[in-house]
Structure 1
Amino acid sequence: MTAADELPAGEPVPLGPDSLTWKHFGDWRGLLPALWAGSMQNMHPELGAGVEEHSRFFDERWERLFRSLYPIGGVVYDGPRAPETALEVRGYHNTIKGVDSRGRRYSALNPDTYYWAHSTFFVGMLLTVEYFCGGLSEQDKRTMYDEHVRWYRLYRMSMRPVPETWEEFQEYYDRMCREVLEDNKAARDVLDIARLAKPVATPWMPDFVWRMLRRPIARGGVWMTVGLYHPAVREKLGYTWTRRDEMALRLLGKVINAAFTVVPFERRYHPRARAAWRRVRGAEPVDAPLVETPARNLPPVAERDDPKHYSPKV
């Protein structure tokens, strides 16, 4: 075993409010690439197989999306408690393993598989800032890359798959998109949102209103996702993207960024991130209980004791 195969030495150090990751990861705009992240993760052969055989994500899309934000965000924002949160998140993957339809073995805790999922959170954050938050300098990207490595160390996974530099990561990402990712059912299912259920957070919305909104939301969401894809991924999935499309997406991003300038700072953030900012600013005790998902996002009652699920007692 080489040093690169070993677990990270010593105690990993959580990110803090001085990091660019704290500034950007918990921003609500980070949900805009949600379809991108889900499809990119599922295009990985092992991840796609795990989702197809172990997940009911497609039965509760909104609930799964919004409850996942809490523990995943906690690995960034929980401060001294972040290492514990990271091990909890890793633990949800312990039983996700098997053999796919082609006879290939898979495990969610395969270091290469686990790191690919993490890398999509990092790239998704870069894309969010690039398109919807005003953009990034090359130095910002290098800084955020180093922060994402520090963030990943919290999972106590092998560091073998992790590129050493931002430049090496770009080569890794290009190779994954060109040579490893595949067009599969799990990825296509993510993109199939034509009959997407009404969001659980909007029970007050009349059903007929949602039916009117669903089609343009679905079209717009897939269109935006295609724009965020690596060109090789677009080709694999059979999509095209024109210069006019790119200009329209950039313009939309500028409008969204301008709209967020009038949103109060803390309201720009997901509740787990918002609570972290409040703790570091002294508005809440540093040891205040961590914010957990509301009950509306919990898994179905029969599955709440399943170790694959984050299901706090709320």
Structure 2
Amino acid sequence: MPAHGPDPTHPTEPTEPTGPRAVEPLGPDSLTWRWFGDWRGLLLAPWAGSMQNMHPELGAGVAEHSRFFEERWERLFRSLYPIGGVVYDGPLAARTAREVRGYHASISGVDGRGRPYHALNPDTFYWAHATFFMLTVQVAERFGGGLTEAQRHTLFDEHVRWYALYGLSMKPVPRSWEEFQRYWDHMCADVLEDNRPARDVLNMRRISRPPLLRWLPSPLWALVRVPMVRLMLWMTIGMYPQAVRERLGLRWTPLDERLLRMLGRLVHHAWRCVPERRRFHPRARAGWDRERGRPAKGPVETPARNLPPEGRRGLRQHYVPES
């Protein structure tokens, strides 16, 4: 991976995926549809956010341009809509991918060590995508009953199609599942950094109530928050690769691993009691409804409660659907 991306003062916009590069979006026959929009992915939110932010360029962009830590839940829940749409929007997936790419076009600068960065540097953008792919794998492996080796290969092939919709260079993309594993190990051992944006993701001591628990009185939330945060951090540490745990100075024992596997099996079996439509994020649910012939007006957009602060809604990096 290069030490830095394109000249941030002259970012290069990628070309549209037309002609030979046109890509068929993923559909309901894909394994990615089965796993990516599943609500169990929220269990990996701190894992995905910290893994992304440990990338030097991505972390620098977050540190300088993002207000994630001032509106943590809102930012998380609104991002799920367009990112999920690249998987579940069917004939509109390529348009959604261009919109997501566009949110990153103005994110550039120079980090504290003098290294230029740009969010559309293909190496940087692909790393974020790679974490979403591995989140899908982790949901299936840890909380969904497991994957066969053939299914891992299938998910890899599908993540390549998914990434191609963005229209960026495919040069950083490994050519096989085996090559991806070497790429992943290299990134975790040799590229990722222990930095402030990653640590901030893991700092949930004063996290506000999640939307699901907004009805909970504040004093009761103050009591529930402590064990909840400890559980989330413990699960996050368990899902890190060992090289990342070592980089962050975190401890994980064989007993921890056994307990996490037991918890994963419990979640897997309990999830079967949840009605199928309720297992999926609204954007994913809309995709399933469309494919099953249920009436739909189009992709479901985030509700107003998740929008950025009024004064920032005109910025290019924010997803703000038309009302």
TM-score exceeds 0.5: yes
Q: For residues 122-151 of structure 1, what are the alpha-carbon distances to aligned partners after superposition, in whole Å with 9 as ceiling and x for unaligned?
A: 011101110101000000000000000000
CA distance in 2, matches of 1:217, 1:191: 13
User: TM-score, normalising length from structure 1?
Assistant: 0.96
Structure 1 residue 6, shift from structure 2 partner = 9.3
Please tell me the residue identity of whatever aligns with 1:283.
R
Among the aligned pairs, what percent are the same residue? 61
Name the counterpart of 1:295.
Answer: 304
Please tell me the residue identity of whatever aligns with 1:143.
T
Name the counterpart of 1:266.
Answer: 277
Name the counterpart of 1:278.
Answer: 289
User: Is 2:246 the counterpart of 1:235?
Assistant: yes
Q: How does 1:154-233 map to 2 (within 5 A)?
A: 154-233=165-244
CA distance in 2, matches of 1:255, 1:155: 37
Name the counterpart of 1:308.
Answer: 317
Name the counterpart of 2:6.
Answer: none
Please tell me the residue identity of whatever aligns with 2:260.
L
* Contact in 2 for aligned 1:200/1:296 (Cα 8 Å): no
User: TM-score, normalising length from structure 2?
Assistant: 0.93
Q: For residues 1-41 of structure 1, what are the alpha-carbon distances to aligned partners after superposition, in whole Å with 9 as ceiling and x for unaligned?
A: xxxx9986431110000000001100000111100000000
- Among 122, 136, 152, the alignment partner of 2:133 is 122
Please tell me the residue identity of whatever aligns with 1:152.
Y
CA distance in 2, matches of 1:15, 1:193: 35
Q: What SS is found at the alignment partner of 1:33?
A: helix
Q: Detail structure 1 runs of 4+ shifted over 4 Å in the superposition.
A: 5-8
Structure 1 residue 201, shift from structure 2 partner = 4.4
Please tell me the residue identity of whatever aligns with 2:27.
G
Q: What SS is found at the alignment partner of 2:21?
A: coil
Q: RMSD in angstroms over aligned alpha carbons?
A: 1.3
Name the counterpart of 1:245.
Answer: 256
Q: What SS is found at the alignment partner of 2:117?
A: strand
CA distance in 2, matches of 1:283, 1:309: 30
CA distance in 2, matches of 1:162, 1:112: 9
Name the counterpart of 2:61.
Answer: 50
Structure 2, unaligned runs of 5 or more? 1-13
Aligned length: 308
* Contact in 2 for aligned 1:15/1:77 (Cα 8 Å): yes
Name the counterpart of 1:15.
Answer: 26
Q: How does 1:68-107 map to 2 (within 5 A)?
A: 68-107=79-118
CA distance in 2, matches of 1:172, 1:248: 29
